[in-house]
Amino acid sequence: MKKSRFLLILLTIVSISAFSQVQLTQYMLDGSVYNPAFVGSEKAICGNLFGRQQWMGFEDSAGNNVSPRSFIFNLQSPIYSINSGVGINVISDRLGYEQNFGVKINYAYRFTLGDNHHFGAGLALSFLNKSIDFSQLVVEDPEDPLLKFNDKESATFFDLDLGIHYRFADKAYAGISATNLLQSSREIGNVRYHQKTNIYLTGGYYFQLTEMDYKKLYLIPSLLLKTNFASTLLDVNLMVNYNKQYWAGVSYRLQDAVAVMAGANWKGFKLGASYDITTSKLANVSSGSLEVFVGYCYPIKPKIKPKSLYNTRYL
């Protein structure tokens, strides 16, 4: 009973007050998850998939596994003819007895100043269907009229995201985005759910530790700051990358978890995995979080315009 009451409290906190985006440890492998301005920056057609099991082993009073499970699929491509990038994110997220299914359509306009300064400005139109199976909740007073719902109720939210992205050569990047700008709200059961505006700030730098062209070692610090002005989360990461093919690193999420991660690139394929060691009070009822990433990019180059040829015979 205590665990069920705790789950109900957890559902309320996460759904109403906290961040509506899925929590990811390896977010740096696909920046478009949190910022539409990253779309098209890879100069390739890319398909990426995240799978995450949060707080493994978390159960309700009946022994059912109610730990959050999330999947995110992203497909994106540059459109060189209009200096743009387009993409789509498909998100499936389950938290206890709550199920979320979302789609985001991303667009970014990209431009370059000089040879090294690359910019992107993006927007995303989002659709989210949120459903809650109230029949699975265990409550102390089943006759309470405030807790009488249909077995399953749902609502649909529409919203708007905006973002800016900057990259300096292959050495540094930064971005800022705002999601759920319309702050749409719907009623599910007797509870009104609000999509709070979230701000995401990202940044990273590639320190090259070796000078040999065939054996390059990089140290990459990065961060992700998330806030909805009611609560704030900070991820601080440090990764080592060899020849931009293999990487390993650690991450610290303030007041939440310490994580380790590793991955590799091979002929366009990208594989990654991370494990979070929970440091909050949830460590007492779970055994950490596991996340995997699978991606593939097919490089595409802009068409080179043929040079005009002039022949004096036709003058």
Tell me the pLDDT tens digit for each residue of 266-297.
999 999 999 999 888 887 777 889 999 999 99
Cα(176)–Cα(200) distance, integer angstroms:
6
Residue 100 lies in a domain: yes
CATH classification of the domain holding 207: 2.40.160.40
Residue 282 lies in a domain: yes
> Residue written as tokens 């199920």?
99
DSSP string, 110-124: EEEETTTEEEEEEEE
Residue 310 lies in a domain: no
CA angle 126, 128, 131 (to 5 degrees): 175
Over the stretch 255-265, which tens digit does the pLDDT of each residue have?
889 999 999 99
Q: Sign of torsion, CA 254 255 259 265?
A: negative
Q: Which of 48-57, 95-104, 156-165 has the highest mean pLDDT?
A: 156-165
pLDDT at 190: 76
Question: Count of alpha carbons within 13 Å of 255, Cβ hemisphere only?
Answer: 4
Domain extent at residue 284:
2-300
Q: Which of 126-135, 231-240, 244-253 has the lowest mean pLDDT?
A: 126-135
Q: In whole angstroms, how far apart are CA 176 and each of 137, 161, 231?
A: 38, 11, 17
Mean predicted confidence (pLDDT) in 179-196:
87
Query: What is the number of H-type helices and E-type strands within the chain?
Result: 1, 17
Q: Sign of torsion, CA 56 57 59 62?
A: positive
Beta bridge partner(s), residue 271: 264, 294
Residue 186 lies in a domain: yes
Q: What band does 187 get if pLDDT is binned at 50, 70 and 90?
A: confident
Q: How many domains does the chain have?
A: 1
Token duo for residue 135: 């029949």
